[in-house]
Amino acid sequence: MFPARTWRENPQRYRLEAQKCSKCSSVYFPPRKVAPGTLDGSCLEPYTLPNDGTIYTFTRINVPPNQFKDAAPYVVGIVELTDGTKIMCQIADTDGMELEIGQKVKLEFRRVQTDGEHGVLAYGYKAVPAIPGVTTV
Amino acid sequence: MVGIVGYGAKIPRHRIKVEEIAKTWGADAPSYKKGLQLSEKSVPGPDVDTITLSVEAAKYALKRAGISGSEIGSVYVGSESHPYAVKPSGTVLAEAIGAVKDCHCADFEFACKAGSEAMFVCLGLAQSGYVKYGLAVGGDTSQGAPGDALEYSAAAGSAAFIMATDKDKILAEILHTHSYMSDTPDFWRREHEHYPQHGGRFTGEPAYFAHVMGATKAILDKSGMKPSDFQYAVFHQPNGKFPMRVGKMLGFKKEQIETGWLVPVLGNTYSGASPLGLTAILDVAKPGDMIMMCSYGSGAGSDSFIWKVTDRIKEVQNLCPKTRTQLDEHKVYVDYGTYAKFRKKILKNK
Amino acid sequence: MREVAIIGVGMGKWGEIWNDSLRDIYVEAAVLALKDAGIDKVDSMYVGSMTPGLFVGQEHLGSLLADYLGIKNLPCTRVESACASGGVALKSAFLEVASGYSDLVIAGGVEKMTDCSGDDATYALATAADQEYEVFHGATFPGLYAMMARRHMFEYGTTREQLAYVAVKNHKNGAKNPKAQYPFEVTLEGVMSSVMVADPLRILDCSPITDGAACVVLADLETAKRICKKPIVKILGFGHATDTIALHARESLTRLDATIVAAERAYKMAGKKPSDIDFAEVHDCFTIAEIIVSEDLGFFEKGKGGPAVEAGETQIGGKIPINTSGGLKSKGHPVGATGIAQAIEIVSQLRGEAGDRQVKGAKVGLAQNMGGSGGSCTVHIMEVV
């Protein structure tokens, strides 16, 4: 993995930086150059995604691609954040057997990919099942 | 006035019991449990490292400080398990919390003392006025060679502290510090080695005990205080036995040490060990409480701190998950095979 | 625009083809199609191929295949739209003939997927998903469709058994297709107990890794009438649409908007409606895909695709036979070739050449080819003259 490719995505992956349209309030993640249907990006304002949400759907991957060989089995899902934005990410700290659609999760900072033994480490968000009664940040 | 304005702890959910490790190596679990006074330890998942633990701990610290990442002027991460040999952990942390780009950033290493070093430096920078808010993190995903005594204790966790002179925000004021060191090779890891080596019983009396006693006695002299003046004390905790014994030798009682004594169910979090103990104390401390803290890093040295808790502590304790909650609840136990997989102890073709 | 017909079809036996290379299998299919059409040269060629660069390290495919087909200086274009590459090649060829620029054009497709390890093939296929926001997180294609399946089950009560019925039906059809990679039947229990790939999808819910090529020859209707000795199959209309490549960016995971829009366009252009379609080839890369697509094409109400397959409505002899060829599931899925092979099945049925799997009285057929997790789709509607 050439470092520029993952480095460029740091604001999104590290800090959930997204955009919100000042006209229609649509949220775009990752950020775009133009708002759909307008050919114009001037209405897109910086916006940070919330850290909490619920599981919209998920799967447990038994047959992984090469770069996730050591991680299988692992759970990937789509999380619907509290503002309604949906993002895809891994759901960590679970074997996936007890998960349900609608279950509360929070996003945590995790190592997402490692480029072999020698390459760069790519960090980003993963969802973890929310612990009842524990405040999230 | 300078001190802590925000703190946070992060402990991974996975645990392994001493029995599970002992079974693998044909070792006697009861004697390890008795000898180390430790029954289980935290295990970092495959996607958890010093950086990720530090980011989560730092987010909690920011929340308790009530500031944004962009207000942080210095970021220091102390660890002996930095994921890169060359390339800072601190830059990832700083980016992740938004403490970019006008910020001083460095990684520290001094065996298990790297976290308290970061705290020491941030206190100095805040007091001097060089930075408004300094973020200090101590954390490790500790290494212990398979089958070695260290494997029973080497654990994972991070603690983060934000230091400042902001009177309205200080939740624990620093009254005194003292640092004490000598060249004592009791525990080391050479470059390119996976696991540290140690001098067995040499790690005790001339190393841990000499330096923790040295730093603590000196700070007591400096402050004119005595052990009974403190509500709490936390000493570096490589196992359950050492901190209790050194406390007793110094004249502290079990009741003063117990709150920050996490090692029996956490294990040794190396650079995170005494800092995490301090977070557990701050979680329950009352205004006016006095806290003695002394770290220890092999090689060797100790930093001691005397903290005085302020009224603000009550406002922040419940803002984030407490250390003891993370330690005692929602644990996921793993077997040795899973642990070996998580910790990349299984040999595979490249 | 001129009317366009398919006058020749060709494909070899699909499967793991160890002795032949990508160029060999493509040339075999192209020659079969030319012979079927009774001609020896064409004006132009389009080749759908998803990622020969990753599978066999070869790009610049158009020139390579024109060279090995032995038609000197033939204008040839390689077309890519993930697993819909074949469908888009067909559309491109259609437009070139319809425009009047060319009279005879080959639309082909090819993928050689077994010249690399299974891991490398998984990686290559995953390049059809969003690299930075899906694949980065470990998503695989079975995983993406598994997430759709879980949603469809959640929203409409689609059952695990209903998914399995798709595989059972398609293998039953494929068992009668001599070109199929896996021409054998499977049982409901066999599907339900096969190895888990991405929960809830098991290995027998997934289309296989296949080497294969397929070609059709297109001609304008006048030329077709002049040279074609078999029943002439007209392409009445096509639809082509895209959707977000990333699954999470979609409003719903239980419908495929590119398919809905492509179908609307195709129905409109063809002047047909869902009830006019006698049979269909749809993109069953995973069992759940066939269920969702059968709804999105208008054959069944949303949420009723599962019960319909369970009730046998999509079997040969049912209300709307789907994937009489065996589908991607049994026939195989050499990704770039799939869209063309679907067209071949439509032509075979409309010509009455489908043998044991013939749909009686078939006059109008529909082929739906889809890329990625539904990020691109083509629909072609054909009728026998």
What DSSP letter does each residue of B16-81 carry, written as one string?
EEHHHHHHHHT--HHHHHHHHT-SEEEE--TT--HHHHHHHHHHHHHHHHT--GGGEEEEEEE-S-
Q: Which fold has domain C127-206+237-384?
A: Peroxisomal Thiolase; Chain A, domain 1 (3.40.47)
- Please tell me the distance from the alpha carbon of residue B239 to that of residue B268, in angstroms, as a whole number: 6
CA atoms within 13 A on the CB side of A5: 12
pLDDT value at A70 more than 90? no
User: What distance in Å separates the CA atoms of residue C46 and residue C134, rounded to the nearest whole number?
Assistant: 30
Q: What is the DSSP letter of B131?
A: -
Q: Which of C88, C45, C161, C34 is nearest to C339 (CA)?
A: C88
* Residue whose token pair is 């806290």: B291
Alpha carbons B154 and B266: distance in angstroms, whole number: 9
What contacts B338, CB < 8 A, 6 or more positions away? none
Burial letters for B204-241: b for 16+ Cβ neighbours within 10 Å, e otherwise? Answer: beebbbbbbbbbbebbbeebebeeeebbbbbbbbbbbb
pLDDT at B144 over 50: yes
Do B186 and B100 fall into the same domain?
A: no
Q: Can you spell out the DSSP letters for B150-208?
A: GGGTB-EEEEEEEEE--TTT-SEEEEEEEEEEEEE-SEE--TT-SS-EE-GGGGIIIII
Whether B and A touch (3+ CB pairs < 8 Å), yes or no:
yes
Q: Hey, are the CB atoms on A135 and B329 less than 8 Å from each other?
A: no
Q: Which stretch of DSSP H or E encloses residue B263?
A: helix B263-266
The neighbours of chain B, by the rule of 3 or more Cβ pairs under 8 Å, are A
Q: What is residue A116's predicted lDDT score, i.e. its pLDDT? A: 84
pLDDT band at A115 (very low <50, low <70, confident <90, very high): confident
Beta bridge partners of B96: none
Determine the Cα–Cα distance for residues A112 and A126; give it in Å rounded to an integer.
Answer: 8
Looking up tokens 């979609």 gives C250
Residue B227 falls within a domain, yes or no?
yes
Residue B265's alpha-carbon distances to A36, B41, B328, C61, C214, in angstroms, are 53, 6, 8, 62, 64
Q: Are residues C147 and A87, on separate chains, in Cβ contact within 8 Å?
A: no
On whether both B185 and B292 belong to a single domain, the answer is yes
What residues of A are in contact with residue C201 (Cβ under 8 Å)? 59
For C145, name the nearest residue in chain A, comparing CA atoms only.
Answer: A59
Q: Parallel, antiparallel, or unpaired: how do β-strands B72-78 and B133-141 relate? A: parallel
Confirm whether B350 is domain-assigned.
no
The values of phi and psi at residue C163, to 5°, are -60, -45
Is it the case that residue B349 has pLDDT exceeding 80?
Answer: no
Pairing of strands B332-333, C44-48: unpaired
Q: Three-state SS for B140?
A: strand
Active-site annotation holder among B14, B176, B211, B236? B236
B96 with A116: Cβ contact below 8 A: no
Average pLDDT over residues A90-106: 95
* Mean pLDDT, residues B17-24: 97
pTM as predicted: 0.95
pLDDT of residue C108: 98
CATH number at residue B59: 3.40.47.10
* Cβ-based contacts of A49 with chain C (< 8 Å): none
Q: What residues in B contact A110, CB-CB < 8 Å?
A: 47-48, 52
Closest-CA distance, C265 to chain A, in angstroms, reads: 20
Q: Is C123 on the interface with A (CB under 8 A)?
A: yes
Q: How far apart are the first and last CA of chain B?
A: 54
Domain membership of residue B91 as a residue range:
3-170+314-342
Q: Does residue B65 belong to any structural domain of this protein? A: yes
CATH superfamily of C4-117+209-233: Thiolase/Chalcone synthase (3.40.47.10)
The band of A136, judged by pLDDT with boundaries at 50, 70 and 90, is very low
Q: How many residues does chain B have?
A: 350
Predicted pLDDT at B330: 86
Q: Are B319 and B64 in contact (CB under 8 A)?
A: yes
B120, amino acid identity: F
Task: Determine the 3-state secondary structure of B216 from DSSP.
Answer: helix
Which uninterrupted H or E stretch holds A37? none
Closest listed residue to residue B82, CA positions, set B166, B197, B189: B189
How many helices and strands (H and E) does chain A possess? 2, 8
- Cβ–Cβ below 8 Å for B45 and A116: no
Question: How far is it, in rounded angstroms, from Cα B207 to Cα B113?
Answer: 13
Q: Give the nearest chain C residue to A122 (CA atoms).
A: C136
User: What ipTM did this prediction achieve?
Assistant: 0.95
pLDDT digit string (tens) for B35-81? Answer: 999 999 999 999 999 999 999 999 999 999 999 999 999 999 999 99
Q: Chain-centre distance of CA B346, in angstroms?
A: 28
Whether C248 and A101 lie within 8 Å, measured CB to CB: no
Question: Which positions ≥6 away from C68 have C-beta within 8 Å?
Answer: C23, C24, C26, C27
Residues of C in contact with A67 (CB under 8 A): 123
Residue A81 pLDDT more than 80? Answer: yes
Confidence of residue A1 (pLDDT cuts 50, 70, 90): confident
Query: Omega before B159 cis (within 30°)?
Result: no
- Mean pLDDT, rounded, for B136-149: 94
Q: Which of the four pLDDT bands, split at 50, 70 and 90, describes residue B350?
A: low
- The confidence band for B136, taking pLDDT boundaries of 50, 70 and 90, is very high
User: CA angle, corner B122, sides to B162 and B142, nearest 5?
Assistant: 80
Asked whether residue B190 is domain-assigned, the answer is yes
Of A64, A71, A88, the CB nearest to C134: A88
B52 → closest Cβ in A109, A116, A137: A109
**Which chains border C (3 or more CB–CB pairs < 8 Å)?**
A
Looking at the domain A51-129, which fold is it? Answer: OB fold (Dihydrolipoamide Acetyltransferase, E2P) (2.40.50)
Residues 6 or more apart whose CB falls under 8 angstroms from that of C190 comprise C204
Residue B198 has pLDDT above 60, yes or no: yes
Q: To 5 degrees, how large is the angle CA C285–CA C289–CA C292?
A: 165
Q: Which residues of chain C have pLDDT under 50?
A: none
Q: What is the mean pLDDT of residues B8-25?
A: 97
Q: Where in chain C is the domain with CATH 3.40.47.10?
A: 4-117+209-233, 127-206+237-384
Which tokens in the block code for residue A15?
């800090």
Residue of A115 and A62 predicted with greater confidence: A62
**Of A15, C132, A111, A11, which Cα lies nearest the Cα of B84?**
A111
CB contact under 8 A, A76 and C150: no
Residue A67: predicted pLDDT = 87
Active site residue B191: no
A touches C (3+ CB pairs < 8 Å)?
yes
Asked if B45's CB is within 8 angstroms of A135's CB, the reply is no
Query: How close C93 gets to chain A, by Cα (Å)?
Result: 30
Q: How many Cβ atoms from other residues are within 10 Å of residue B324's Cβ?
A: 17
B51, A71: Cβ pair inside 8 Å?
A: no
Q: Are C10 and C30 in contact (CB under 8 A)?
A: yes
Identify which of A5, A56, A61 has the shortest CB distance to residue C143. A61
Q: Which two tokens stand for residue B198?
A: 């140690």
* Cα–Cα distance measured from residue B316 to residue B304, given in angstroms and rounded to the nearest whole number: 24
Do β-strands B187-188 and B156-164 pair in parallel, antiparallel, or remain unpaired? unpaired
The closest of C89, C153, C96 to C376, measured between CA atoms, is C89
Q: How many CB atoms lie within 10 A of CB C302?
A: 14
Residues in chain A: 137
Average pLDDT over chain B, rounded to whole?
97
| pLDDT one-digit tens code per residue, A19-59 | 999 999 999 999 999 999 999 999 999 999 999 999 999 99
Question: Is the pLDDT at A132 greater than 80, yes or no?
Answer: no
